[in-house]
Structure 1
Amino acid sequence: MTATLLVGFVVLLLINMPVSFALAIASFLAITYGGIPAALVAQRMTAAMDSFILLAVPFFLLAGHLMARSGIARDIIDFANAAIGWARGGLAQAGIGAGTLMGGMTGSAVAEASSAGGIMIPPMKEKGYDGAFCAAVTAAASTISVVIPPSIPMIIFCVVTGVSVSKLFVAGLIPGLLIAAALMLTAWAISVLRGYPRGPRTSPRQILAAARASFWGLMMPLVIIGSIRYGIATPTEASVVAVVYGLLVGMFVYRTIRLADLPQIVLESCVTTGVVMLMIAAASLYGLIITREQIPQEAARLILALTSDPTFVLLLIFAVYLVAGMLLDLGASIIILVPVLWPVTQSLQIDPIQFGIVTVVGLAVGLVTPPVGASLFVTCGIARCNLVQGTVAVMPFVLALIAIVLAIIFFPGIATWLPSRMD
C-alpha cells in the first residue's frame, strides 16, 4: 500500500493536481489495492471532519474575510507607518509591523501577503525601493500570520496530534514577536546598505491619532487571544466571537460592508474552508495507511538509530521541514509529516508545544522559498518582478526565520513559557 500511495501521490502532483485531491485519490487507490472495504473510506473521511475543534476553521476564515473587506488593513498599516516608519527603510519596517498586527486577523499567510502587498508595495516602489526587495519583505512578513493566533496550520496540527489548541495559540505569541524583530533587523540592515529612505518622523500626537483610527482592528487579536488566554472562551467559541466582531465593525463602524456583500464574503470563506476540510478528510485515509503499514514505528527506529538526543532530533526534523516546505503547501506538509514524526517526539519526551511551534514556524519558511513559495509568488506578482529576483532578495529573511527556529529548538522556553502559565 505504501508504494501505491507514494507513487500515486507524486504522479498526481506532477500533473499539477491540487495537493488535497492528490492525497485523497492516492490514498483511496492504496486502500483499494490493500483490500480495505470502500465503505470504510467514507466512514473515516466523515469522522475526520466531525470535530468541534475544526468548527474554528470556517469561522476564523470568515472573520478574516470580513475584516479584510472592511478596509481596516489600511488603518493598521497607517498606524504601523506612524509608529516605526521613521526608521531607515521605514516603509519596509511598517510592512513588517503591520504584518504582525494583522496576523491576529487573517490566520493565512497568503491572504495577508495579498492584502498587505497590494497596499504596501506600490508606495514602496514609488519611494525608490527595489521591486524584488518589496516582494521579499512583504512575503517574509506574511509568515507571522501563521504563528500569531488565530492560525489555521496550528489548528490542523492540533487535530492531527491532539495537542491543546488554546496552549498552542498562546505559545505562538513570543515566537511571532521574535520573528517580527528578526525581520525588522534584517530589513534595517539591508536598507542601510542600500540607502533606502527614512519616513517622516511623527509626533506622539500623530501616533495616537493613527492608533485611534486603527482601534477596532487592533482590538481584534486582543479579543481572540485574550479570551483564549484567560479561559473565557475556547478557540472555537473565540472564532464565533471574531465573526460577530468583524461583522459589527464592518457594517456599523466602517460601514464598508453591506448586506448585499455578505453572500460573496461567505462564499469566499466556504471555498477556502472546503480546501482545508478536504485535506483533513484525505489525511484520515493517509493516516489509516501509515498506521497499518507501521511507518511511524519504522521512522522512529531509523531516527533513534542515528541519535537519541532530543535537540539533535528536532534539528533533523527541521531539516526535513525545510525541504518539504519547498515542495508542499504548509497544511499538506503538516498532515503528511506530523503523523510520522509525532511518535518519535513522544518517545523522546519532547514537549508537544515546542514540537508544534517548530513545525509551524519551520514549515512557514516554505511560504517564501520556491518552487511552491506561495506568499513570495503572490508578492512577486504584485511587485512585477520575476521569481528568481524575489528568491535572491528573500534569502536574508529566510536566514532570519531559520535563526528563530534554531532558537526555539535550543531554548524551548521561548515556546513553552506562556502556555505553562495557563496551568
Structure 2
Amino acid sequence: MTAILLGSFVVLLIINVPVSFALMIASLAALTWGGIPPTLVGQRMTAAMDSFILLAIPFFLLAGQLMSRSGIARDIMNLAYALLGWMRGGLAHASIGAGTIMGGMTGSAVAEASSIGGVMIPEMQAKGYGGAYSAAVVAAGSLISVLIPPSVPLIIYGVVTGTSVGRLFIAGLIPGLLMAAVMILVTWWMAMRAGYPRGPRPTPGAVWRAFVASLWGLFMPVVIIGSIRFGIATPTEASVLAVAYALLVGMVVYRSIRWRDLPRIMLDTAVTNGVVLLLISAATLYGLIITREQVPQEAARLILELTGNPTVLLLLILAVYLVAGMILDLGAAIIILVPVFWPMTRQVGIDPVHFGIVTVMGLAVGLITPPVGASLFVTCGIARVNLIAAARAVLPYVAALTLLVVAVILWPDIALWLTRDM
C-alpha cells in the first residue's frame, strides 16, 4: 500500500495535478489497493476539519483581506520607504520592511507577495530595478509572514502536533525579525553590486507623518499578539478580534470599505480558505495512511540508528525539508512530514515549539525555490519575468535563510527565549 500511495502521488505531481487532488487520489488508490472501504476518504477528510483552532484560519484570512482593501497596505509601504528608502536599493528595502509589518496582518506568504508585489514591483521596475531582482526581493520578503503572527503554517503545525499555537506565535517573533534583518543585509549587498539608486534621506517630520498615517495598521499585530500573550483571548478568539478591528478601521476610520464591498471580500476569503482547508483535509488523510503503514516508526528507527544527537537530527530533518519544499506546498508538507519526524524529535527531547519554528522556516524556503515556489511564481507573474531568471536572482536569499535556520537549530533560545515565562 505504501508503494501505491507514494508512487501515485509522485506521478500525479509530475503531470501537474493540484497537490490537494493528488493527495486525495493517491490516498483513494492506496485504500482501494489495500481493500479498505473508500468511504474512509470522506469520513477522515471531514473529521480533519473538526478542530476549534482551525477556525482561526478563515478569520485571519478575512482580517488580512479587509486590511488590504482598506488602504492600510499603502500607508505601511510609505512608512517602510520613509524608514529604509534612503539606503542603496531603497525601494527593495521598503518592500522587505512592508513585508515584515504586513506579516502581522495576512498570515500568508502568497497573499503578501500578491498584495505588496502589485504595488512595489511596477514601481521598482519604473525606477530601473531589474524585473527578476524585483520579483526575487518581494517573494523573499513575503516569507516573513510565515513566522510573524498570525501565521497560518504555525496554526497548521499546532493542529497536527497539539502544540500551543499561542506559544508558537510568540516564538516566531524573534526569528521573524531576524529573517527581516538578514534579508535587508542581502538586499543591500545585491543593490550595491548592481548600483541601484538610493531614495531621498527622510526628514523627521516625514517619518512622523508616515508613522501617524499607518498607526491603525501597526496596531493590528498588537491586538493579535497582545490578546494572546496576556490571556485575553485564545488564537481563535484573537482571529475574531482581528476581523472586528479590521472592519472598524476599514469602514469607520478609512471609510474605504462599504457594505456593498463585503460580499466580494467574503467570497475572495472563502475561495482562499477553501483551498487551504481542502489541502489540510487531503493531507491529513494521506498522513493517516502513512502512519497506519508504520512509515514514521521505520523512519525514526533508521534515523536514530545514525544519530541520537538532537542538533544533528534537526540538521538532517532540515536537509529533507529543503528538498521537500521544492515540490510540496508548505501546508501539505507540514501535514505529511511532521508526523514522520515528530516521534523521533520527542524521543531525543527536542522542544516541540523549537521544532515547529525550524519546520516552518525550513519548509518556507521552498516558497521561493522552483518548481513549486508559490511566492516566487506570483511575483514573476506580476513582474512578467521568466521563472528561471528570478530563481537565479533569489539564490542569495535562499542561502541566507538556510544559514539562519541552521543558527536557530544551533541556538534554540533564538526561538524559545520569549516563551520562557508563558
The answer to whether the superposition gives a TM-score over 0.5 is yes
Instruction: Give matches, 1:166-245, under 5 Å.
Output: 166-245=166-245
- Corresponding residue for residue 84 of structure 1: 84
Cα distance in 1 for partners of 2:13, 2:403 equals 31
Displacement after TM superposition at 1:314 (Å): 0.5
Displacement after TM superposition at 1:155 (Å): 0.8
Q: What letter is aligned with 1:154? A: L
Q: Could you list the per-position Cα deviations for residues 367-404 of structure 1 after superposition, in whole angstroms to 9, with x for gaps in the alignment?
A: 11111111111112222221111111111111111111
Q: Name the SS for the 2:239 alignment partner.
A: helix
Cα distance in 2 for partners of 1:193, 1:22 equals 43
Q: Name the SS for the 1:129 alignment partner.
A: coil
Are 2:118 and 1:114 equivalent residues in the alignment? no
Instruction: Give matches, 1:336-415, under 5 Å.
Output: 336-415=336-415
Instruction: Give matches, 1:250-265, under 5 Å.
Output: 250-265=250-265
Displacement after TM superposition at 1:252 (Å): 1.3
What runs of 5+ residues in structure 1 fail to find an aligned partner? none
Displacement after TM superposition at 1:46 (Å): 1.9
Cα distance in 2 for partners of 1:22, 1:249 equals 40
Instruction: Give matches, 1:52-71, under 5 Å.
Output: 52-71=52-71
- Corresponding residue for residue 13 of structure 1: 13
Are 2:304 and 1:285 equivalent residues in the alignment? no
Maintained 8 Å contact 1:24/1:279:
no
TM-score calculated relative to the size of structure 2: 0.98
- Corresponding residue for residue 297 of structure 1: 297
- Corresponding residue for residue 49 of structure 1: 49
Q: Could you list the per-position Cα deviations for residues 217-276 of structure 1 after superposition, in whole angstroms to 9, with x for gaps in the alignment?
A: 111111111111111111000000111111111111111111111111111111111122
Which is further off, 356-365 or 13-22? 13-22
Maintained 8 Å contact 1:48/1:284:
yes
Q: Could you list the per-position Cα deviations for residues 79-132 of structure 1 after superposition, in whole angstroms to 9, with x for gaps in the alignment?
A: 011111111211111110100000011111111111111111122122221211
Cα distance in 2 for partners of 1:211, 1:263 equals 31
Q: What letter is aligned with 1:398? A: V
Maintained 8 Å contact 2:280/2:331:
no
Displacement after TM superposition at 1:33 (Å): 2.2
Residue correspondences, number: 422
- Corresponding residue for residue 157 of structure 2: 157
Cα distance in 2 for partners of 1:99, 1:39 equals 43
Which is further off, 250-259 or 56-65? 250-259
Cα distance in 2 for partners of 1:117, 1:39 equals 43
Cα distance in 1 for partners of 2:285, 2:327 equals 21
Cα distance in 1 for partners of 2:331, 2:337 equals 10
Instruction: Give matches, 1:262-341, under 5 Å.
Output: 262-341=262-341
Q: What letter is aligned with 1:92? A: A
Displacement after TM superposition at 1:184 (Å): 0.2
Displacement after TM superposition at 1:168 (Å): 0.4
What runs of 5+ residues in structure 2 fail to find an aligned partner? none
Q: Name the SS for the 1:339 alignment partner.
A: helix
Q: What letter is aligned with 1:360? A: V
Which is further off, 28-37 or 313-322? 28-37
Q: What letter is aligned with 2:121? A: I
Cα distance in 1 for partners of 2:383, 2:273 equals 28
Q: Name the SS for the 2:320 alignment partner.
A: helix
Are 2:142 and 1:136 equivalent residues in the alignment? no
Cα distance in 1 for partners of 2:126, 2:280 equals 43
Q: Name the SS for the 1:327 alignment partner.
A: coil
Displacement after TM superposition at 1:280 (Å): 2.0
Displacement after TM superposition at 1:322 (Å): 0.6
Q: What letter is aligned with 2:8? A: G
Cα distance in 1 for partners of 2:88, 2:16 equals 42
Q: What letter is aligned with 2:182? A: A
Q: What letter is aligned with 1:351? A: D
Cα 1:121–1:293, aligned 2, differ >3 Å: closer, same or farther? same
Which is further off, 234-243 or 21-30? 21-30
RMSD: 1.2
Cα distance in 2 for partners of 1:231, 1:153 equals 22
Q: Name the SS for the 1:132 alignment partner.
A: helix
Cα distance in 1 for partners of 2:387, 2:285 equals 35
Cα distance in 2 for partners of 1:134, 1:277 equals 31
Q: Name the SS for the 1:326 alignment partner.
A: coil
TM-score calculated relative to the size of structure 1: 0.97
Cα distance in 1 for partners of 2:17, 2:181 equals 37
Cα distance in 1 for partners of 2:45, 2:363 equals 25
- Corresponding residue for residue 123 of structure 1: 123
Q: Name the SS for the 1:74 alignment partner.
A: helix
- Corresponding residue for residue 417 of structure 2: 417
Maintained 8 Å contact 1:107/1:146:
yes
Which is further off, 396-405 or 170-179? 396-405
Displacement after TM superposition at 1:36 (Å): 2.5
Displacement after TM superposition at 1:185 (Å): 0.6
Maintained 8 Å contact 1:24/1:282:
yes
Cα distance in 2 for partners of 1:373, 1:287 equals 22
Cα distance in 1 for partners of 2:259, 2:402 equals 44
Q: What letter is aligned with 1:100? A: T
Maintained 8 Å contact 1:365/1:401:
yes
Maintained 8 Å contact 2:284/2:335:
no
Cα distance in 2 for partners of 1:191, 1:82 equals 18
Displacement after TM superposition at 1:65 (Å): 0.8
